Amino acid sequence: MIDFSPTPEQEALREEVRAFVETRILPYERDLRWGRHGPSEALRRELLALAREAGLVAPHLPPEYGGRGLDHVSQAILFEAAGYSPLGPTAMNIMAPDEGNMHLLLKAATPDQKARWLAPLAAGEIRSCFLMTEPDGAGADPMLLATRAEPDGDGFVIHGRKWLITGAGGAAFGIVMADVPGRGATMFLTPMDAPGIRLLRLLDTIDSSFTGGHYEIALEGLRVGRDQVLGEVGEGFRYAQIRLAPARLTHCMRWLGGAVRAQEIARDYAARRRAFGRPLGEHEGVGFMLADNEIDIAQARHWIWYAAWILDRGEKGRHETSLAKVAVSEALFRVLDRCVQILGGLGVTDDTVVARLFQDIRAFRIYDGPSEVHRWAIARRCLREARPAKEE
C-alpha cells in the first residue's frame, strides 16, 4: 500500500502557504480589480509583490529559477493550499497557463529561449499564453488542427484561428501549435505583439480567475524564424502531452483548495443557521450533503496524490492524469453544487466566494479536456487490455 502521509517538510510547506493565503490574500477577494475577466494586471503585480516578500513566487520551479525544486506530491500539497483562495495561485505565479508553459519550457526550450522567455516568466515579470484550441474542434480533438505553418525561406508563415486562449490579453509571448505540411504539428514561440497576431474578441465566460481572460485570435501571416521552433518540427503533439499531463493535474490541485474552502464556509453556515428548531446541519438532508462533500474531497485528494506519485516515479502519467482529471473535476463540481444548495439564497450571491468558485469549477470540467474525451481515452485503453476469447 502506498503511504501518502505528508512528511514534516510537506506539512510545514502546507502551513506556510495556508497562512500566507489566509492573512495576505483573502482580504483582496473584495478588490474591484478582480473583475469578470480575471484579476487585472495591476492587481496581479500587487499580489505577486506580497508573494515575493514571503518567498513564495513560483516555488514549484527548480532553484535556478527561484523555486524550491518540489516533487509532484509536494506540489500537490502546495497548490491545494494556494487554491484556498482563487487569487492564491495568481499571487504565487502558479496559475494556468503560465505554470504549464513554465513546465514545457523547462523540458523543451533551448538555453537562449529559456533566457528570453522562461526566466522573466518565472519571476512574474511577464505573462504567457498557449495557442492550441481552435473554434472548429482542435483542442478536444487535436487531430483537427487547422492552423498551418508554411515553410518560407529561413522560417515559417503561420495562418489560422485560435480561441479560448487563456491569458492572451496582455501576454508577452505565446506558444503556437500549427501544422507544418508533410512534417506534422509543431510548436512555435512568438511575441504576442508580432505583426500577424490579431486579438479578435474577449470572450465572456462563466469563470473569472485568469488574468488576461480568454480570447479568440487570428493568425494572419505571422512570420517566425527557425530559432522560434519550440523543440523539434513535427513533435508538437508529443510536447503537448509533456505540457498537458502535469497541467491537468495542477488544475486539480488548485481547485481542490477551492472546494475545501467552500466546504468550510458551508459547514460553518450549517452549524450556526437554525431552521425548524435546530441547526441546519442537524437536518439529515443537509448533514448528508456535508458528509458526501467530505468523501468527495478525500477521494479527490487521493486521486491527485496517486497521479502525482506516478509522475514522481518518472512515468508519463497520461492515463493516471486522465483518470484524476475526470474523477476530481466531477467530484469537486458535486462539492460546490452541494455547498451552494446548503447556503441557499446566500449561495447564489457574491456575499461569499462560493458562487464564484462554483462557476470556476464548472468550467474546469471542460478545460484541459472535457470529461467525455478523457473517458473515451480511458475506455480505449481498457479495450486494448481485453483478453481474447479462449478457443474451446
**Structural domain includes residue 32:** yes
Which of 371, 364, 296, 302 lies closest to 331, judged by CA? Answer: 296
Mean pLDDT of 284-310: 97
User: Total domain count for the chain?
Assistant: 3
76 and 142 share a domain? no
Same domain, 200 and 252: no
d(CA 332, CA 309): 21
The predicted pLDDT at position 113 comes to: 98
Residue 385 has pLDDT above 60, yes or no: yes
**80 CB-near residues (< 8 Å, 6+ apart):** 14, 253, 254, 256, 257, 260, 301, 304
Residue 310 sits in which domain range? Answer: 237-384
Give the pLDDT confidence score for residue 140 in this predicted structure: 76
- Domain assignment present for residue 390? The answer is no
User: Do 342 and 257 fall into the same domain?
Assistant: yes
Rounded CA separation 61/237 (Å) = 24
* Cis? peptide before 111, omega within 30° of 0: no
Is 184 in the same domain as 107? no
Identify the residue whose cell numbers are 478582480.
34
Q: What is the DSSP letter of 67?
A: S
Count Cβ atoms within 10 A of the Cβ of residue 32 and give its class: 0-12 exposed, 13-18 middle, 19 or more buried: exposed
Q: Is the pLDDT of residue 64 over 70?
A: yes
Residue 138: pLDDT above 90?
Answer: no
pLDDT bucket at 391, cuts 50 / 70 / 90: low
Same domain, 243 and 353: yes
- Write out pLDDT tens, residues 298-348: 999 999 999 999 999 988 889 999 999 999 999 999 999 999 999 999 999
Domain boundary among 79, 107, 122: 122
The answer as to whether 3 is a domain residue is: no
Mean pLDDT of the chain: 96
Domain termination site, one of 234, 268, 286: 234
The residues near 339 (Cβ < 8 Å, ≥ 6 apart) are: 262, 263, 265, 266, 293, 347, 354, 358
The pLDDT, as a whole number, for residue 225 is 98
Per-residue pLDDT, averaged over 88-95, amounts to: 98
Quick one: pLDDT at residue 392?
53
Q: What's the predicted TM-score (pTM) here?
A: 0.95
User: Which one of 170, 200, 234 terminates a domain?
Assistant: 234
Co-location of 377 and 276 in the same domain: yes
* Residue 177 predicted with pLDDT over 90: yes
Whether 123 and 263 have beta carbons less than 8 Å apart is answered as: no
User: Mind listing the pLDDT tens digit for each residue in 214-248?
Assistant: 999 999 999 999 999 999 999 999 999 899 889 99
Say how far apart CA 26 and CA 50 lie, in whole Å.
12
- Per-residue model confidence (pLDDT) at position 1: 64
